[in-house]
Structure 1
Amino acid sequence: MEMCANAFLFSILFLSLSLNSAANVDILRPNQNITDGSTIVSAGGHFELGFISPGSSTNRYVGIWYKKIPAKTIVWIANKETPLNTTSGILKHNINGNLIILNGLGHVVWSSNSSTSVNNPVLQLLDSGNFVIRDENDSDTENYAWQSFDNPGNTFLPGSKLGWNLETGLERYLSSWKSEDDPSPGEYTYHVDRDGYPQLIMRKGSAIDFRAGTWNGVRFSGSPNLKPNRIYHSDFVSSNKELYYHYEVVDASIPTRKIINSLGKSQTWMWIEQSQTWQLYLTAQKDECDHYALCRAYGSCNINSSPACECLDGFEPKSQKEWDVADWSSGCVRKVQLSCTDGDGFVKHPGLKSPDARQSWFDRNMTLDECKSMCLRNCSCTAYANTDIRGSGSGCLLWFNELIDIKEHKQNGQDLYIRISASELAKGRSKVRFIIIPIILTVTMMLGVCLWAIRMRWKKHAGGNRRLFFKTDGGNRNGDVDSELPLFDLTTLANATNGFSTNSKLGEGGFGSVYKGMLHEGKEIAVKRLSKDSTQGLKEFKNEVSCIAQLQHRNLVKLLGCSMQKGERMLVYEYMPNKSLDSFIFDKEQSKVLDWPKRYNIIYGIARGLLYLHQDSRLRIIHRDLKASNVLLDHGMNPKISDFGTARICGETETGANTTKVVGTYGYMSPEYAIDGKFSIKSDVYSFGVLLLEIVSGESNANFTHPDHNFNLLGHAWRTYTNYETLDIVDEVIAKSIHEHQLEVFRAINIGLLCVQQYPADRPTMASVVLMLTSKVPLPQPKQPGFFTERKLHERDSATNYLTVTTMAPR
């Protein structure tokens, strides 16, 4: 009996020793296990490993997460396809040194399946987030028997590799999760494709969904926004042994990770310590042109053009009828077939995402001239380019098939030389000579006449079929912005609107009136006619033209043209049959049309439009007057942001500025903008938060009243949130029908409150907002909103207001 008691005490002591030692060190030895509730932590305290449940799941997995980040962010999971449904799991070594997970019955549910044996195996969690099996007496990274970095999930950490070990055939690739709660492999995988010249490819199932392009020595050709930066640096390694992409952080104190989310988006996230949130730093897929082979063979995609697809020089649509209705599935074909023997040549296309390079040929040591010669000697060669764009360029990449998945980039694109027939090449040269010679003669002989004619043309503002060119800074301190827009004749617009009749009027504001019109070809338009005494003057008029004329997004209203004749200033937009959002959400009868799914779609659409303005457009634009009346609704109740008269254009690296003239609308302006004249993308985020809460509640922030207090809508929303009565602010016309959407409504309100927090640094970016709206990522707790003070109720003008900020200075 005494021996049994001693054995029992020894077992308890051993188990206690095992758990305590495992919880305080980064190494797990063969006599130590990890049970559910115990963990090991890397030596520097960066990562932790143990049993965890992702999202709202109750299943248990062995995973690795950031130790120092409050919201547990999982970077790796072992048993992602074989979860445990109890907390009785055990992680341990087996007799062969393999890592195994046992369920409560002692059955193996997952194993590392390492084929390499070591004499004194230990498990170690490194500060890189890598979990390894190695010999205790050998820390050489080349001798790991097994490592989690060789088996990634949806997360790509600094120092890990994405690609191939060519000696063993091991491929390291990313796989999306099915959802935030289910880490089992989803639809999307991200690979280094080695069929031809290596490139990064996202697959949905077996089909290619997105192609980041070929590595050109600086970046992948399909990721022009991947620039040298102070956050991390990337490289692509190609040798006889390995072929992989990797990146290293410059400052190891800033947690950085790349993920493939459940929607197949490749994203780079950074942890911002000040705001205690993950900040979206980069998204590989920027717009519709990133869909694989959207324009098909020999088609080029430009998101800033309409239509987005066009054929390359020397090519034409295979089916013009299909292209006329934006069906590009048949692609383009050569106007003249190559002859190979009659002097084929090449047309240089700068600034492109290089075509799909599968089954291509390359040599990294050839010059560009040698590359051209080799392509000419092979009748099947269709194009060539450098493999490395650094310096004067080097290496040779040849294509032999149809050129597909080409995208135009404004900056950081690659030069591509496409083969065309001698006759097409001659046409191009003769066309250039035909154009250049008269221009030189005209400029030399008639410069004075031309300048005078241009001056008179501008002075008269004559319309018709001509185009208007503005050069205005629009608030852009980095340089001018060029805008080109069709000019409408005043008579044409008068006829379209029945002489600007009262029956054609859609609405009226401080700027003037908006009329519905119909052009002679049957196209419906909306004409914004600025009144002579409008607060929106010539500067704002030019600003709106310069901003919106260059924007193309489904959630932005499309500007079709303008008119500047006989003292009139008019803007011509696409017609929105359902008018503006405020006519629905603030009208008790009309609001019944908007059930919760429609409202959520409107919220999401506005967020997408703002994200495009802040991050994805050619210009970084801060709207500065986002409100319900500036959101228009199309036939399908899809939202389109309008009225860019007060918008400001910033440089690519700018996110805001100061002004002495505050423009905007009471109730939507952020505190730092209304009080100090400081505006930024976070000012728009604040306005979006106000608008979101208005859509949910059906109430106007500025005009909101409540019998129990004198707070505005934001204050009321904050009170209900802190009193755990959040759903009380939901519009009564939908309150009874949102039971199945309650969690979604609650998230939306939470997001709205995050957006209207007092301090800009606390507010999320629109990229984070879009992610919050489309996923189940945990939401941080919001802080008190701006303007959280009770006020005396009084009528306020809801029109656009212009305030002058006086700067105080010592005498």
Structure 2
Amino acid sequence: MEGFAILLLLLLLLCSFVISNLTVSIAVDTLNATNQSIRDGEMIVSLGGRFELGFFSPPSSTNRFVGIWYGNISVPTVVWVANREAPLQDLSGVLKLTNQGILVLLNHNGSTVWSSNSSRPARRPVAQLLDSGNLIVKEENDNNPENFLWQSFDYPCDTLLSGMKLGRNFITGLDRYLSSWKSLDDPSHGNFTYRYDIGGFPESVLRDGSVVIFRPGPWNGLRFSGAPGLKQNHLFTFEFVLNEKEVYFSYKLRNSSILSMMVLNSEGSWQRMKWIEETRSWEVYFRVQMDNCDNYALCSSYGSCNANKAPQYCSCLKGFVPKFPEKWNNKLWSNGCVRKTPLNCSSDGFLKHSGVKLPDSRQSWFNYSMNLEECKNLCKKDCSCTAYANLDIRNGGSGCLLWFVDLVDIRELTENGQEIYIRVAASELGMKPVILKLQQGKNERRRIAFICMFSIAVLILGLALVFYLWRMSCGKKPGLLTAVPESSSNVKNQKEGLELPLFDFATIACATGNFSTANKLGEGGFGSVYKGILKDGQEIAVKRLSRSSSQGLHEFKNEVLHIAKLKHRNLVKLLGCCIQGDEKMLIYEFMSNKSLDFFIFDQSQSISLDWPMRYHIINGIARGLLYLHQDSRQRIIHRDLKAGNVLLDHEMNPKISDFGMARSFEEKETTANTKNVVGTYGYMAPEYAIDGLYSIKSDVFSFGVLVLEIVSGKRNRGFCHPDHQLNLLGHAWRLFTAGEPMELISSPIRETCNPSEVLRSIHVGLLCVQQSSEDRPNMSNVVLMLGSHGPLPQPKQPGFFTERDLVESSSSSTSHKLLSSNDCTISQLEAR
């Protein structure tokens, strides 16, 4: 009987053990916030057993990390790491889920080493490891992916799994990108990143630090134009999405039993791996970078690379010749090619190139609804357009992709290449002399017609002036010319000489809700700015000139004169104007994210502007200034570059605005002098503020101030520090000379910053704000320095370095005391 009791007790204990293990196995893939945690040596396993989450150490390392790895193969392969930059030094780590739905990793002291975040407050959160390899935090009974509180797929490491997105969310600012391990033994961030650039048509770009080393080309509807081998097949399908909300690339495996992943390894190779069960190993299924021609811009501007012509890989496109032939023949291709025959806008044509990788499209313009003929006509009309191509090659081709810069990173492909049409002089198209002569005769007739029309116009204007003087002598005032009414943004009537569409007052009043205060965006010395929506749905910004502002009238004329013909992705586009009665208005494209100062100087908003975005903005402003100074039809000095005059579109692309104070230069002019100093205190160069001398170097100084403000999150004017009374430039100079430039970094970007990019930005900023204008680089050198890894010259002391008296005297003075607010733009400085 006693033996039976012992047997019964053993059976009960066994049942209890089975039930206990059954309960654990049901919850094996989840972690709740009440009483569960994972300690070093424990793990959770996805429901199908494909992935495991726990603690691990890389080969030849004793550091401990929390990660996810393939669990059903003989070679555990880590695909995601939580605490990449904060390894644990012992086996005491604990991973928990808080009641707020946040994953936290604690060390032996109970201090948080790493944590996730949450999109909103949680009620009953659970963490779950899915069979896709995605670690999610969600409400207990909510399986809708749109409602996940957090997921590891949003924060990739070096591996792209099936179903993961690689790209950006324009609404939240989330940037999903890959970064390599530092080495096989160190999962911290390495030198290589693979992410989307969103300046023009979005492209994924592989970088070594800040230097671009490879891009697979723009997506053409089927594949990336420069990666013909990376195509859909029996193993996987691709997806590319670009809309107002987001841009991303992802892939899905056709057979879920196949193990395959895309990895950016520590040597910078972007490759697809496939598990081979027979050999029990990972094999490289495909390398995205195929050969030397995949080295970014190997042949530079207008050069084409052909891997089959090694070692002389590079050749110039038809119609172009090497810029430096001797260097080119010695395989030094970095200077690229130049046009054999200069362009003549009216007679230029386009040469078709087939079977190529499309050039870098990150500074391009695109439209999905146009056809190829419309695309050609649009490019033909704009003399700065260098090439055009179909955006989508499916079903015979559709969409339009335009380039307005030198074409770089072109290569010839043996399969799956694309077609591009490149602008060349008419003579390069093989036109016969007779045809050219006819064309010249046509141009001569046009010139004569223009002279006749101009003479008639001068005569009419003379008669109008006589009539005006006669009316004035009679004591009557003539009314202003009323603009031709228009009903939409597609205005066809243009004011002669300005080449700008004219809107009627009723259209603008209707679009802005009769200039309601609810639509008011801001106000300045010139008047007010309103948001509006035209009948066709286009959003606009309307700058309405104040009737009492003589300053605004001058700015109005000046802005129309300078910006009407400017076209660049980093300049705000002027859509038209309205001149009717006493009303004078400028109509711009609407910038949904306001101005840069709204983000960098506001404590709550600055958090949303991480370092990659700030660096993107710095480079965008630099390219916009370079266009003004060098590449526009007339060289333009902005004279009022500041954070408030840099607007941000829905993709956070920077666009320089407000050309009311701009001045144009002749080709050989270098400096000019003015008695009326205009600009904003804190951004003006010393020689300009004191002596009225301005040049392109004045804008360079303003740009340098802006760079240091973006890095630090502090205004130059009004900057305070407990240890000294220097402005921001002086503070940055002090830190730089003391070997502590990283102390300048704004706290919201410390976790996301790339140290080498930050240091280079600070260094370039200080070069731009040097006291002497001759020491400052021009913008072409600035753009080059920001995008390279080479050594930089040592900066000299910045302008306005002397310490100031923060208590301003109320007595009059004849000297200029440069201490007014950054927000205040002045039109004239005179001694009081």
TM-score, normalisation: structure 2:
0.49
